[in-house]
Structure 1
Amino acid sequence: MTTTNEINLEEIIRKQREELERYQHIIHVCGSTGCVSSDSQAVLAAFEKEVKFLGLEDKVLVKQVGCMGLCAAGPVVSIKPDNLLYKTVKVEDVPQILRALLKGEAVEELRIDTNQPFFTRQHKVTLENSGVINPEKIEDYILHDGYKALLQVITAMSPQGVIDEIKKSGLRGRGGGGFPTGNKWQIVHDAPGGLKYVICNADEGDPGAFMDRSIIESDPHAVLEGMAIAAYAVGASRGFVYVRAEYPLAVKRLRTAIRQAERAGFLGENIHGSGFSFSVEIRLGAGAFVCGEETALISSIEGERGMPRPRPPYPAISGLDGKPTLINNVETYANVPAIIRNGGEWFASIGTEKSKGTKVFALTGKIANTGLVEVPMGITLREIIFDIGGGVPNGHRFKAVQTGGPSGGCIPEELLDTPVDYENLTRLGSIMGSGGMIVIDDTSDIVSVARYFMEFSMDESCGKCVPCRIGTVKIYHILNKFLEGNATEADLEQMEALCEMMQTTSLCGLGKSAPNPVLSSLKYFRHEYLSKIRRSEQSEEVNAAAALGQ
């Protein structure tokens, strides 16, 4: 097995560049879940077969890559250096694309304009390698500056120096709460104890969210490198990636990446002769939404039922097996290598005063450009939805955007010019969450939307605390009464009281935030609830009059 002492990154990069310079064209075929579900693997095989049939193996390289972002257009194929991007490519399109390429032409009916805002308005840090590298080849990651940051850290920086750089960057946790990452690392670093853990929370369970899944599928080594840097900084020797089993492609590529990193010496014992050792294991979750909460996740890793625990103590002091434990999500760790390579001040120069850097969002729902985007903090909701997202399709009108999934809120059109950051979204009654963004148009009933999210929270509640276990059920049934035309003013008052009770008395974040979709929809779309009450009351008056023979 190769050891880190034998690794020469510059030599690997030189060989990779020489290899790529042999080719006149490099065909990138998206191999992320969205495109795979549209049969991109057959398209990849067709390109490889046709290139061989035409005898172009020395001129054209066919390469599987990760997510290119525009999921609505999958399977997506890009060709470099020709700057060609094709949408909805089918197996039968492959010969035509290659013939046009050899002539220096393009297949215009399949071509995507790369000058549209979806591409030009993004700022990629976390996704810098997505759609560029083959996620199953560590050499490709190394070619794009992979593992440089880790070697820089363990050979030239102290643990405290690493933490100071993360603090300087202003990076906040991308899993939802937005807690300052450097501060969390500092707490674990300062906690006494010889054994410490680093955990990557990849239990992404929000409906319509696929940010973490896509990052792992597209650039798994960035996550592993970020975890290793974090482990060095806090003094941990063991790491776990907690990922839901419903992400088979992400799990497969993560396992491949761990094996490759171990063989190359970036994980394991005495990394690069530094005396620093760090190993990573995968733990599969069964898909419980509550396991996105830190203490429930820890319980699941320990083999117990995933249920939250009272805090304090916090995991940073007493986490897995009672040891100090650092937990960040996929996107947070994926930012770390770029921060170390470019410096904390570079990252802090992006975004707003309190929300630094970029954020990855999954655009779904009634929007033209369904897909994955990365934008600087401070961009407005309107810019994301109407410029980058292409607006609402099929001639319908925008109604609301749901951010933060079941824990977030519905934001109306009049507030779309609000800059996107942690504080502003909270002020509007929503949250950043992990990055789900669901667009709702005028064909949707806002009460039905609120009921959908409440039903999700009701089903996913672990049942440990009474406010969440019973409150979600009560609110769900009241929402049903509105939709059935049987609600009264008293129901509205009771529902609001139940929401406030859950927010203040629930044990964990699931229960505390579950009422957000209801409360935000009441705040901005109260007329839709009232209109249903009026119908109910009018119906009662008619029935009473009929009973009296009037």
Structure 2
Amino acid sequence: MSAQNLDRIEVHVCMGTAGVASGGAEVMAAFEEEFKKHGLIGEVKERNCKVKATGCRGLCARDVLVDIHIPGQEEVTYEHVTPEIVPTIVEEHILKGEVVKKWAAKKDYYDFYKLQKRYVLADCGKVDPEDIDDYIAHGGYEAIKKVLKEMTPEEVIEEVKKSGLRGRGGGGFPTGLKWTFCRASKGDLKYLICNADEGDPGAFMDRSIIEGNPHVVIEGMLIAAYAIGCKEGYIYCRAEYPLAIKRVKKALKIAEERGFLGKNILGTDFEFHLHLKEGAGAFVCGEETALIASIEGERGMPRPRPPFPAVKGLWGKPSNVNNVETFANLPLIINNGADWYASIGTEKSKGTKIFALSGKVKSTGLIEVPMGVTVRQLVFDVGGGIPKKRKIKAVQLGGPSGGCLPESLLDTPIDYDSLIAAGAMMGSGGVVVMDETNCMVNVAKFFLTFTQRESCGKCIPCRIGTKTMLDILERICAGEGREGDIELLESLAMDIKTASLCGLGQTAPNPVLTTIKYFRHEYEAHIKDRKCPARECPELIEFVVDEDRCKKCGICFKVCPVGAISWEKGKPAYIDKSKCVKCRECIVNCPFNAID
């Protein structure tokens, strides 16, 4: 490799939460040390080589992820990078031009991105989230410049309406229409609020956007504030996201210093002040009226509607609440046009949607796909399918308030209306994949445990109803189910959905209703046969080895933590029930399903 090819080399290191947790800072330091050692940075400034921190690029399970950018060459990604292998990557790849194949990303890494359309996440993994100049170099703040110079507030709202953008927080209400209500409300002072509370188990979409590109959220809020007529705004982010909090604070400070926030923004008479409010981590504060109460210093509890926040919101003033992903879509719409945006997705669900893919799937992480792809494509084309050669049983969409769809419905398109018709919901974007080892009664119990614990307790249907349903599910999983329990669960669920004050209570029974609808036979097996078909509920498992299925491999013997399993080579294993603590390690690790 000639000397001139060593100019303008960039190494991008994932410094999202997963990257930091996996040792991203140490990897960055190792690259910087090697770059100095070989004269790529330091005194030879004209080379302009960089080691740059970036946000999450999606495939979190492969962190620390590192991209090598050498001018004139194809980008190369390395997985599971540690400080120890950095010198080799620098020596072989950067200096000699030979990719270190044993650490380079393989085909399944690139397959993860094939179906994706990363528009909102386009700069995550490319932009330094703590460098406003890097954001600007990638086209940042061009949309707000266009809005202020070329468009009236009414024109901005019409453009958003024309795009078909719907709220990404879960409800899917048309964004432009929501803005119209707030703009039409009387009052000199109006508030704009970004909901970054994101409390769903396994969800990290909003967090990753803020961590990886906080300025795109700020720019989206500037566009919305101009359209609605807001001078004051809040980003409400849970304090349990320390990295996001840190980067938002820094982004707000530098944006104000550069004239993108405050008075006379970009030399115009537009004024917008943006503040950060750290939430205490209550799931109910994802509901907009509870969130507003929390900002006001009150306990986060929902308020009856009407009046809606667009009329009477924060401190009694007209207010508009959108979530992180909704705001992050706005620069795209302004820069590329409503027609371009509306060409993506389906007739009634436009654009892309970001999901957090987790559970029993080979490739877990953050993904962005066009509306209209099917659940099957999400699991198998993006996620790579189910590990350990097991069969898929269900996919839970929409967070703890979503529904569980069986294998027979995997071809359901992912759009607002199709998912609701199937019994699930878009929600904020959590997707949990389950295989044949998951008990659907236990799954329903897990999600209801979460929503019941997070209930604010203000209304009786949610406070008492979810607790009663949870008690029944716990009995069923413990082998104490009764005739009529299924019907009682269904009746309670419908009462809670009808009478609860806010969306948390109204949707909390969804996992129970959908698991009963599609997996009723598992409930009946628990109640009538005192059996758990998935062998997940310990009280309903006998913990005996089926000698016909046992392959005499000894895996169960090796993984038993209490020495309850005896085994000799060439003979079936045996479980001593007096020692067994029902931890299920033998069941989870047996590749032949030989333990009942």
Settle same-fold status: TM greater than 0.5.
yes
1:513 to 503, 507, 510: 507
Give the match for residue 65 of structure 1: 54
Give the match for residue 104 of structure 1: 97
Quick check: 1:392 aligned with 2:386? yes
Whole-Å separation in 2 of the counterparts to 1:518 and 1:482: 13
Whole-Å separation in 2 of the counterparts to 1:383 and 1:208: 20
2:106 to 113, 136, 145: 113
Give the match for residue 41 of structure 1: 25
Could you tell me which runs of 5 or more consecutive residues in structure 2 were left unpaired when the two chains were aligned: 532-538, 540-596
Give the match for residue 273 of structure 2: 279
1:488–1:536: 8 Å Cα contact kept in structure 2? no
Give the match for residue 559 of structure 2: none
Give the match for residue 523 of structure 2: 529
Provide the TM-score with structure 2 as the length reference.
Answer: 0.85
Whole-Å separation in 2 of the counterparts to 1:496 and 1:438: 23
1:481–1:487: 8 Å Cα contact kept in structure 2? yes
Give the match for residue 4 of structure 1: none
| 1:97 alignment partner, SS class | helix
| 2:354 alignment partner, SS class | strand
Q: How do 1:154-169 and structure 2 match up within 5 A?
A: 154-169=148-163
Q: How do 1:236-385 and structure 2 match up within 5 A?
A: 236-385=230-379
Deviation at 1:394, TM superposition (A): 2.0
The superposition leaves residues 339-370 of structure 1 with CA deviations (integer Å, 9 ceiling, x where unpaired) of: 10111111000000000000000011111111
Whole-Å separation in 1 of the counterparts to 2:35 and 2:500: 60
| 2:102 alignment partner, SS class | helix
Give the match for residue 10 of structure 2: 26
Whole-Å separation in 2 of the counterparts to 1:23 and 1:458: 57
Deviation at 1:96, TM superposition (A): 0.8
1:211 to 180, 205, 208: 205
Greater RCO (CA < 8 Å, at least 6 residues apart)? 1
| Aligned amino acid, residue 29 of structure 1 | V
The superposition leaves residues 419-445 of structure 1 with CA deviations (integer Å, 9 ceiling, x where unpaired) of: 100001101111100001111111111
Whole-Å separation in 1 of the counterparts to 2:412 and 2:459: 35
2:439 to 426, 445, 450: 445
Whole-Å separation in 2 of the counterparts to 1:158 and 1:216: 28
1:195–1:236: 8 Å Cα contact kept in structure 2? yes
Deviation at 1:27, TM superposition (A): 0.6
Deviation at 1:116, TM superposition (A): 3.1
| Aligned amino acid, residue 58 of structure 2 | G
Deviation at 1:24, TM superposition (A): 3.9
Could you tell me which runs of 5 or more consecutive residues in structure 1 were left unpaired when the two chains were aligned: 1-20, 540-550
Quick check: 1:191 aligned with 2:185? yes
Cα RMSD of the aligned pairs, angstroms, is: 1.4
Max Rg structure: 2
Quick check: 1:504 aligned with 2:498? yes
| 1:464 alignment partner, SS class | coil
Alignment length (residue pairs): 518
| Aligned amino acid, residue 31 of structure 1 | M
2:486–2:516: 8 Å Cα contact kept in structure 1? no
1:76–1:89: 8 Å Cα contact kept in structure 2? yes
2:6–2:40: 8 Å Cα contact kept in structure 1? no
Deviation at 1:536, TM superposition (A): 4.7
Deviation at 1:22, TM superposition (A): 8.4
Deviation at 1:233, TM superposition (A): 0.2
1:78 to 49, 55, 67: 67
Q: Relative to structure 2, which stretch is displaced further, 389-398 or 315-324?
A: 389-398
Provide the TM-score with structure 1 as the length reference.
Answer: 0.93
Give the match for residue 547 of structure 1: none
Whole-Å separation in 1 of the counterparts to 2:9 and 2:522: 56
| Aligned amino acid, residue 474 of structure 1 | T
1:77–1:85: 8 Å Cα contact kept in structure 2? yes
Whole-Å separation in 1 of the counterparts to 2:145 and 2:378: 36
The superposition leaves residues 320-349 of structure 1 with CA deviations (integer Å, 9 ceiling, x where unpaired) of: 011110100000000001110111111000
The superposition leaves residues 377-411 of structure 1 with CA deviations (integer Å, 9 ceiling, x where unpaired) of: 00011111101111111222211111111110111
Structure number with higher helix proportion: 1
| Aligned amino acid, residue 111 of structure 1 | A
The superposition leaves residues 65-111 of structure 1 with CA deviations (integer Å, 9 ceiling, x where unpaired) of: 11111111111001114310111101101011111211111111111
The superposition leaves residues 91-142 of structure 1 with CA deviations (integer Å, 9 ceiling, x where unpaired) of: 1010111112111111111111367331121101110110010000000000
| 1:525 alignment partner, SS class | helix
| 2:464 alignment partner, SS class | helix
